[in-house]
Structure 1
Amino acid sequence: MSTEAADMDEIPPLPQDLSDKLDVLVEVVELLGLDSIDFASYSPVLSRLVDQSISLSLTQERLRATEQELREHLGYLRHHNGLLEHWRKTLQEPGSSTSEESSEDLERRRESLLRSAREYHKELEALIAQSHPPKVTITALLQQQEKNRKLARDIKDKKAKIRTFQGLPPLGLLEESEIERKSMSPIPVACELTDPAVSALHPSRRCYPLAAMSAAFQTRIDQELEPLFAPRQTSRYSRNAQLFSLFFLVLVYAALFSTFIIDTTRLLSIISLPSLIQTNVSTPSPARTNSTRALGVANKIYVISLPSRKDRRADMEVLRNKLGLDWTYIKATASNEPIVSSILDWVRIVREGPPTVVTSEDEVTESTPGDMQQRIAFRWPSDIDALARSSLPLDLWDSGVWPEPSNHAARPALDRPDVPLPCATKIFSFPSAARLNGSWDINHLPEHMVLTPSRIACWHSHTKLIHSIANGKSSASEVSIVLEDDVDMEQDIQEQLLHLWKFLPPDWDIVFLGHCWSNEKLHPAISIPTGYKKSILRLLSRSRSLFWSSLHPSNGPKCTHAYALSYRGARRLLLHLRYPPFAYSRAIDQAISWLITSGRLKSYSVVPSLVVQRKIQTSDIGSGTGSKWRDVLTHGFFDDETQ
């Protein structure tokens, strides 16, 4: 009985190869300073090695640059030394014809070169004296490389060890055996040792109790693997050697399916987009219409054109047929029509006589008290917002205390009706033309600053159409597009507009499909994920075209050759353009630009333009083909026609 107890107390030693492998595993863990077997533990070690390698490379590059600079200085010195040697030999030759004056010049040059050589020599010594100690020595780098190679071999050996653990008894059986051993209960003796690994433990083929063998092996494994699993005191996983196989298998599957998981996450983010939006951000309104005959986003398209410009209408018909569009031609007002001269006279009367609109009393410091009583401070009508939201009919003209252009015949005639009128640059009207003419030379104003009949006619043409749109029996979601008759469009304009229209907020007034003389990219483009978390934006970076547009808040665009109006936007624009103190005060594109920059209209601009002016025919407003501004399309219709 005592012999059996002694046998039970003996702990069989581990095989030498298994013990060596476990020792190697412990050394690897200590060298790496690992706390766990995940990537996050050994990643800092690899990063530190990469940083040291980069630092060494930078030091080598600096040394190469210094060496190259020294070589250049040395070559320069050799060149001058050769020149000195040449002239020395020339002067020493018998019968030399060099004059004393030439010798003095050469001597001065020699002294100058010697001074330069001394300076270069000092610079060279200073460069040599400078130390550039590398952060990593070559010896340390070689040692680290050797450690890396050894680590790679150890990892390879560790993978081989995993297969050894796979033949151990199940964890549950080992725990049961340990409990039985501690309780000293009778345990059946395994006399037949069929496992080669177990047979190696017992060369004399003596039979050991299974509990003793399992407990000894379990204790040795706990001691060897404790540095790896110390932070996690969970015996269920730390003692199961098969966890190593599972860990590497998970790494392989993660590497294979990482791209699929990321793309799937993005797709789920797109599907659950509303849940990602903050509560204070509203989803942009969708496209207002699906009419393909009106560029997919509008209900109607209008083209303002003079009936006399048959050349332009012919080109517009070609454009309409090729793009498959429907539009209505609106008769433009000609500059020689009576209404134009009537409006010019009206503007002159408003500027000459009371009431003259000013912004403050500072603008009338030279006026008499009587004049001050006749002047009023400028203010927009207080009912503009209410009328814009309503569906009440709007007149083309808001007379108020100002007479309508067609009803001013009873007013006294002006002494100088032929004096040109300048365009206003502020919200209020210019001082009287008579006083202006006495102090300024109106004839020396630039052409774009003169209120010509053509500019009056252009204002009247657009205002008539906007008045018709604002009084139409339309819903709040109706969209109208206004074009002039000298434009070209992108061939895929409909597809681009269908995409851009999804980004428009519901309260927009006007969208410039084309513009000029302004930087419309000043403000960032609007996008659907406004208010999203930064992580979501980075996640959706590959789908940028789905969530970012080329639609920017307007910065004061000029030109009216292509713009879209919402129903409320048309009413709001008309209410401003018809207000007498502001009406016909300048070119209409300058007026709309002022309303945008002052916050009276909510406007957006497409950048780059989808519609541009062709500028190949005579302008109806300015001289020649118009202003010097030129815009180009990516794939314009007429561009392909001319090629």
Structure 2
Amino acid sequence: MPSLGRTRWLILIGLPLTLFVCLLVSQNASDSDRGIVAAGGRATSKLKGLGLHIGSTAMRYTNGPARWLRMGLTGEAAKESELVDDIQIAPSHISADHASQISLAYRNKLKEIRPALPHSKTLGFSRIYVISLASRTDRRARMKRIAHALGIELTFIDAAPKDSDLIKWIAERVVKVRSEKRRLIARARSVDEAELGGSTVGSVWLAPSVPWKINPALEQPSEETDWEGTDKVIWPSLKKDHYEGMDWVEYLNTRPDPYLTLKPDDPDLNVTSALWDYLDSYAARQVNDAVIATWHSQTRALHKMKENGDTTALVLEDDVDFEWDIENMWNTIKTFLPTEEKPREGSEPWEMVFLGHCWGAETSRGAYFHPHLYRSYAPRCLHGWTVSIAGRDRLLRQMSDPWLAYQLPVDTAVSTFIRAGALEAYSIEPPIIIQSKDTPSDIQPGLGSPWSGLLQDSTIERIWRHDGLIVPRHNESVMQRDPATRLRVSLTRRAIMQRWALGPQADSKEG
């Protein structure tokens, strides 16, 4: 009987305790079916207590039916991570759409983490200049919309109208200089004047009257320039009394309002006919009113930088589009550029960088310490570039040579400086700024050339999608392929052939 009494007491005490434990387990399982939210620093211990295992692609609750949550974490590191805030364990009956939303939880969490560098309203430059005709309010409105989207500030520079008296005044002087330059070089070469011409990089018209400072490591073979005999020419001074003792370019650049004070002798001058080069059959390379206006506008941007004391500046045309993440891209790439503080063997401090360019075979010289940074080869187009103080001064000096100024398109002149080793320039490839080709061109008929380039994540396309507009599809047919694409294909093919020819030597060099 005594033993029976003890048994009765054990039953009376043990049964309620057993029921209590069962209720706790049941409640725990019920909570997990409804989903558990792990928050703050308590998340890690709670997840461990429930038997959660986090792998490279999923997190599973093991105390019952499998529950999966896609994650970007790996193994034990994920369990201990502070980034498990707001992790949700989804019930098995969840819909596919809801599961997809939950799978982005970690990505969205990371998007909230701010970059190490604070946002700069000028992308890290002293200023961002936009060259734009005052009359093109459509383009200015478009650029302001892009600036608002990127959170940046723009400074507009009024471009020179191609039909202004000033452009005719400049053209008259370019015609006179070219005529005299032809005579002097023909005599130095002992050839007929009709044999001189050409509008490509290294053209005879871009031969300098004052020797440039050259970096031998960048200088291209002499056969790539048509400057034979120009070093023997004695270039007469073009300083005139009616220019107040200055040459015509210096006089032009010092006028407070050249549009009002400089008038041509012949208001009806046909610039294209007067400067037509019969040795170049490609009409797009001929000098016309728009070419002269563009040179003047780009020069004004350099002078503005000097007036404002900018240490660097990004200069844009008003028809561009940006990579959405351009700030982070530029902040990363620029750290690989050689500077006074961070010199690199065989390199002078950088002077110019092309964030945008076209048709230049920029990968020809190989990547420069970063897979998207290259020493410039012969970039065309000036829709997105930056210069240092040294680069600004060198460009102004070379572009103000009265025997060279305005003789050809300004981008051809800049490419000539680069090929001659007279400018420390770099190009980002692929470009992170492109010409959008979605508004009428100020230089060519219609939208200009049919090739606009491609971005990974276009800012203007994001804006269009936000506005509910249809984004046009990039169409590059085999019969009308972008010259930049053809250049990349040919350069890649050439690199593959060179590697094949070298055989094992190529691998040993890379190793």
* TM-score (ref. length: structure 1): 0.42
Q: Which residue of 2 aligns with 1:494?
A: 327
Aligned to 1:468: 304
1:580 has 2:402 as partner: yes
Q: Does 1:482 align with 2:315?
A: yes
Residue 139 of structure 2 aligns with which residue? 312
Q: Report the Cα offset of residue 473 of structure 1.
A: 3.3
**Could you tell me how far apart the structure 1 residues matched to 2:137 and 2:329 are?**
30
- 2:293 corresponds to: 457
**Cα distance between partner residues in 1 of 2:365 and 2:330:** 20
Following the alignment from structure 2 to structure 1, what is the Cα–Cα distance between the partners of residues 119 and 393? 23
Q: Structure 2 CA distance, aligned partners of 1:316 and 1:562?
A: 13
Give the whole-Å Cα distance in 1 for the aligned partners of 2:212 and 2:421: 16
Q: 1:403 to 1:292 in 2, by over 3 A?
A: closer
In the alignment, does 2:242 pair up with 1:420? no
Contact 1:357–1:581 (CA<8 Å) still a contact in 2? Answer: no
**Does 1:620 pair with 2:442?**
yes
Q: Hey, what does 2:121 align to over in structure 1? A: 293
Does structure 1 residue 509 correspond to structure 2 residue 337? no
Counterpart-to-counterpart distance in 2, 1:565 and 1:629: 26
Which whole-Å CA distance do the structure 2 matches of 1:495 and 1:567 have between them? 23
User: What does the per-residue CA deviation read over 1:484-527, in whole Å, with 9 as the maximum and x for residues that have no partner?
Assistant: 11111011000011100100011111100011112111221111
Would you say the 8 A contact 1:503–1:549 is kept in 2?
no
* SS of corresponding position for 1:515: strand
Give CA-to-partner distance per residue, 1:371-424, whole Å, 9 cap, x none: xxxxxx965435879xxxxxxxxxxxx9547841679x9xx989x95473587x
CA distance in 1, matches of 2:167, 2:357: 26
1:559 matched to 2:384? The reply is: no
Is 2:359 the counterpart of 1:526?
no
Structure 2 partner of 1:635: 457
**Alpha carbons 2:131, 2:158 under 8 Å: kept:** yes
Provide the secondary structure at the position in 2 that maps to 1:293. Answer: coil
**Partner amino acid for 1:603?**
A
C-alpha deviation, 1:641, in angstroms: 2.7
SS at the partner of 1:618?
A: coil
Residues in 1 aligned to 2:423 and 2:186: alpha-carbon distance in whole angstroms: 20
Summarize deviations over 1:550-591 as a string: whole Å, max 9, x none: 110011000111001111101101111110111001111111
Corresponding residue of 2:248? 404
Cα distance in 1 between the residues matched to 2:282 and 2:366: 34
For residue 123 of structure 1, what is the aligned residue in structure 2?
A: none
* Residue from 174, 180, 184 that aligns with 1:347: 174
Instruction: Say how many residue pairs are matched.
Output: 292
Among residues 365, 381, 390, which one is paired with 2:210 in the alignment?
Answer: 381
- Equivalent AA in structure 2 for residue 404 of structure 1: W
Secondary structure in 2 matching 1:330: strand
Contact 2:171 2:271 in 1 (8 A): no
8 Å CA contact 2:354, 2:384 repeated in 1 = yes
Q: CA offsets, 1:424-454, max 9 Å, x none? A: xxxxxxxxx7xx7xxx5x9x94331321101
SS at match of 1:500: helix
Tell me the residue number matched to 2:148. Answer: 321
State the superposition RMSD in angstroms. Answer: 3.4
**Alignment partners' CA distance in 2, 1:333 and 1:419:** 15
Match status 1:589 vs 2:411: yes
State the distance in 1 between where 2:186 and 2:120 align: 47
* Residues 1:567 and 1:292: Cα distance change in structure 2 (over 3 Å): same
Relative to 1, partners in 2 of residues 1:318 and 1:363: Cα closer, same or farther, differing over 3 Å?
farther
- Match runs of 1:426-465 below 5 Å: 440=278, 445-465=281-301
Secondary structure at the counterpart of residue 420 of structure 1: helix
- Deviation for aligned residue 1:642: 3.0
How many angstroms apart in 1 are the aligned matches of 2:208 and 2:357?
A: 29
Looking at structure 2, the residues matched to 419 and 613 of structure 1 have their Cα atoms a distance apart, in angstroms, of 26
Asked if 2 retains the 8 angstrom alpha-carbon contact of 1:619 and 1:625, the reply is yes
Cα distance in structure 1, aligned partners of 2:364 and 2:121: 33
Distance apart, 1:455 and its partner CA = 0.9
Q: Are the aligned partners of 1:481 and 1:563 in contact in 2 as well (CA < 8 Å)?
A: yes
Go from structure 1 to structure 2 and tell me whether the alpha carbon gap of 1:635 and 1:419 turns closer, same or farther (over 3 Å shift). closer
Alignment check: 8 A CA contact 2:181 2:403 kept: no
Q: Deviations over 1:150-197 (max 9, x none)?
A: xxxxxxxxxxxxxxxxxxxxxxxxxxxxxxxxxxxxxxxxxxxxxxxx
Task: Percent identity, please.
Answer: 31
What's the counterpart of residue 10 of structure 1? none
* Structure 1 SS opposite 2:129: strand
Q: Which amino acid aligns with 1:333?
A: A
Q: Is the 8 A contact 1:470 1:574 kept in 2?
A: no
1:606 pairs, out of 416, 421, 428, with 428
Secondary structure at 1:481 match in 2: strand
Q: In structure 2, the residue corresponding to 1:349 is in which secondary structure?
A: helix
> Secondary structure of the equivalent of 2:358?
coil
- Please give the alpha-carbon distance, in whole angstroms, between the structure 2 residues aligned to 1:570 and 1:343: 22
Q: Aligned partner of 1:485: which letter?
A: D
Larger gyration radius, structure 1 or structure 2: 1
Give, in angstroms, the shift of residue 352 of structure 1: 2.8
Bigger strand share: 2
Q: Separation in 1 of the partners of 2:209 and 2:118? A: 37
The equivalent of 1:249 in structure 2 is: none
CA distance, structure 2, for counterparts of residue 488 and residue 498 of structure 1: 18
Q: Give the deviation of 1:290 after TM superposition.
A: 7.0
TM-score computed with the length of structure 2 as normaliser = 0.52
Give, in whole Å, the separation in 2 of the partners of 1:462 and 1:505. Answer: 25
Aligned equivalents of 1:291, 1:616: Cα separation in 2: 29
